[in-house]
Amino acid sequence: EDGYRLWLRYNTVHDPALLQQYRQQITSILSPGDADGLFRAQQELITGLSGLLGKQISMQMGVNNGTVMVGLPQHFSFIRTLVGDTALARLGEEGFIIRTTRRDGKSVILITGNKEAGILYGVFHFLRLLQTHQPIQQLNISSTPKIQLRLLNHWDNLNRTVERGYAGGSIWDWQRLPGYIDQRYIDYARANASIGINGTVLTNVNANAMVLTEAWLQKVAALANVFRQYHLKVYLTARFSAPVEIGKLKTADPLNAEVKQWWKEKANEIYRSIPDFGGFLVKANSEGQPGPQNYQRTHADGANMLADAVAPHGGIVMWRAFVYSNESPEDRFKQAYNDFKPLDGQFRKNVLVQVKNGPIDFQPREPFHPLFGAMPQTPLMMEFQLTQEYMGFATHLVYQAPLFKEVLNADTHSKSSSTVAQIIDGTANNHTLTGMAGVANIGSDINWTGHPFGQANWYTLGRLAWDNSLTSAQIANEWIRQTFSNKKAFVDTVQQLMLASREIMVNYMTPLGLHHIMGYGHHYGPAPWYNKAPRADWNPVYFHKADSIGIGFDRTASGSNALAQYQPAVRQQFENMATCPEYFLLWFHHVPWDHKMRSGKTLWETMCDKYYSGVDSVRWMQRSWNRMQNFIDAERFNQVRQLLAIQEQEAVWWRNACLLYFQTFSRKAIPAGYEKPDRTLQYYQELSFPYAPN
């Protein structure tokens, strides 16, 4: 068990009674052998069922009790009458139906959809039911994705390094492409399909224009050929200055006729070899990337120019709202909103604006981004970060579903039904073009994600993009059962641990609304004291603003007034210290050290409590995990055990470094009874990390 098989292990069902039942309920597969588009679904079903049932299940002619029938309405004529045209139409291109029914007096299970993609997703869903030991006697399932574009964003460079990647190098072996198709590409596409992910951006948002040249496009096309079999579309990042860098033009001005023509021809060239190419993801005028503002044009001018180039082919543009500029005197929190809100209504129909979940940058906890709800005429796409840049890299066990759900469930109050989930799934403002992306945590490590539990975050992205009403507990539960074991004691313990893990990390890193206090550049470990970055808004001191009076960023009207970017109901809740959730306190207020918190303790005491409880809880995670030794394989058990030990050390590091530093302002003692930091502040400040990946 090296983790390579992810959640698709298909080991034989352990429980003898259940195995017996499943063997009666599933006996063979009936599916048209000449339907090429169903090949991958059929193959998966054969492998999955044969593994789970511990006996060969194959494709046969005719129906028996327990035949699984897999096909489109045109393959089995009874489907239209059984399901009905309206129910079928409602499935769209990707939905599926799984139903127990009778054929020729036999009890059969039907898996169908309008299109091959739906059938593939239906097959994976059916296998998931078995993998998680669900009853299957009377199935009546109909499922369609809530979000249309369910994407991974790889921050992979063409030299196979991965920006913020902690699981080895890039899985794209560019040098041996297009000739050599690594088995990994197939397994990657299959894993994505199993959780409904239908698109992948292959390249880093800090883009290299070379990928748009002919030799590279051939490599991209080879990947697309593999991925297509699993209904996974390929997208690329477009470097805005590409017309100058690889096109020999003098300008990349989006309103220049030659520039427009260059992109049109480039798009035509791409679509000639990749007819189902998805489109472009663009980071422009952000952190040094070129963009339309270099030519005094707006983000809409830039996005629309690219959108026009791909529109004839059905392509889309995902234009990122992650922008902030050092020249601006504004609180970094406010800049994306200031740049983008005025552009609402100016984007082409095939543009989505891709917004990070929070206003700063993938911190352990952020309030929802104020753009959600503020641009009703523009489809806004969610960007989450699966790779744990700010969450302990691939060393800390942090299950991110609670973070994602917290944001999705937040009410923007922009309309009557307008949670962030309803904004991005299009229901709030009637958009049909909808999307959710996760910055991939995948690399060349044998187990794909470095930390065995990193797989759960990849899994979550797919499941939540398909159905944002799933709870963190449901997703954890099904992931654990498929990845490790169905044994109740194991599932219960590990589920509890996963659900608690995100808050535990917040407590030992950035409790009470602290944010962006990590090490400079590589972002490894704590460095709240850091103040030497070339731009103010890269410095931790900019964000926590600790002084002798207190700590926190005043974003109320007396401070940066970033809160004015939210709807009144949200703003009022956050701006009033009495109603602001304490976990957001220092996001919005500069709070005196002896401020009385709701518990009656002071801010300083509460901060100490949080940091200490974070470390204690990691120790609790260690104890819980150690009790799991006999439930699973030694290999993965030991990996997680070792990683938890490092996590414990690093939690202590975060706690000690932050409290010792903040103590220089609060001038108060760490409350009695707590173990005292065994190192000095100076020790932590002098640490250096020649090997921290970035």
537 catalytic residue (yes or no): no
CA 618 – CA 102 distance, rounded (Å): 52
- 166 makes contact with ligand BDP (CB under 6 A): no
- 384 makes contact with ligand BDP (CB under 6 A): no
Cβ 165 to ligand BDP, closest distance in Å?
10
State the amino acid at position 549 in one-letter form.
I
CA 127 – CA 134 distance, rounded (Å): 10
Report the candidate in 364, 357, 404 with the shortest Cα–Cα distance to residue 610: 364
Site string for ligand BDP, 349-368 (x = CB under 6 A): ------------xx------
Residue 115, exposed/middle/buried by CB under 10 A (0-12, 13-18, 19+)? middle
Token pair for 383: 């960007």
Task: Determine which one of 182, 187, 287, 344 is catalytic.
Answer: 287
**Going along 118-221, which residue ranges are E strands?**
140-143, 149-153, 199-201
Residue closest to ligand BDP when measured from CB atoms: 361
- 322 makes contact with ligand BDP (CB under 6 A): yes
287 catalytic residue (yes or no): yes
Contact 464, 381 (CB under 8 A): no
Nearer to ligand BDP, 94 or 361 (CB): 361
> Of these, 163, 245, 344, 582, which contacts ligand BDP (CB under 6 A)?
163
- 230 makes contact with ligand BDP (CB under 6 A): no
Q: How many CB atoms lie within 10 A of CB 313?
A: 16
- 239 makes contact with ligand BDP (CB under 6 A): no
Cβ 287 to ligand BDP, closest distance in Å?
6
For tokens 């074991």, the residue is 485
Nearer to ligand BDP, 91 or 282 (CB): 282
Nearer to ligand BDP, 345 or 521 (CB): 521
- 330 makes contact with ligand BDP (CB under 6 A): no
CA 485 – CA 132 distance, rounded (Å): 9
**Which alpha helices (H) appear in 567-633, and where do they start and end?**
568-575, 585-588, 603-626
Cβ 692 to ligand BDP, closest distance in Å?
13
State the amino acid at position 134 in one-letter form.
Q
Cβ 513 to ligand BDP, closest distance in Å?
19
Cα distances (Å, whole numbers) of residue 602 to 163, 328, 436, 450: 40, 35, 40, 40
361 catalytic residue (yes or no): yes
Site string for ligand BDP, 617-656 (x = CB under 6 A): ----------------------------------------
Q: Residue 379: is the preceding peptide bond cis (ω within 30°)?
A: no
Phi-psi region of 561 (alpha: psi -120 to 50; beta: other; left: phi over 0): left
Cβ 385 to ligand BDP, closest distance in Å?
7
- 582 makes contact with ligand BDP (CB under 6 A): no
Contact 506, 365 (CB under 8 A): yes
Nearer to ligand BDP, 358 or 370 (CB): 358
Nearer to ligand BDP, 209 or 670 (CB): 209
Cβ 320 to ligand BDP, closest distance in Å?
7
Nearer to ligand BDP, 204 or 501 (CB): 204
> Which pairing describes strands 96-103 and 106-112: parallel, antiparallel, or unpaired?
antiparallel
Task: Determine which one of 389, 445, 605, 616 is catalytic.
Answer: 389
List, as one string, the DSSP characters of 372-426: TTT-TTS-EEEEEE-S-TTTTGGGS----HHHHHHHHH-B--SSSS-BHHHHHTS
Nearer to ligand BDP, 362 or 368 (CB): 362
- 161 makes contact with ligand BDP (CB under 6 A): no
- 164 makes contact with ligand BDP (CB under 6 A): yes
Site string for ligand BDP, 583-602 (x = CB under 6 A): --------------------
- 154 makes contact with ligand BDP (CB under 6 A): no
Residue 18, exposed/middle/buried by CB under 10 A (0-12, 13-18, 19+)? middle
Q: Give the catalytic positions in this structure.
A: 287, 361, 389
Q: Give the footprint of ligand BDP on this chain (CB under 6 A).
A: 163-164, 205-206, 283, 287, 322, 361-362, 389
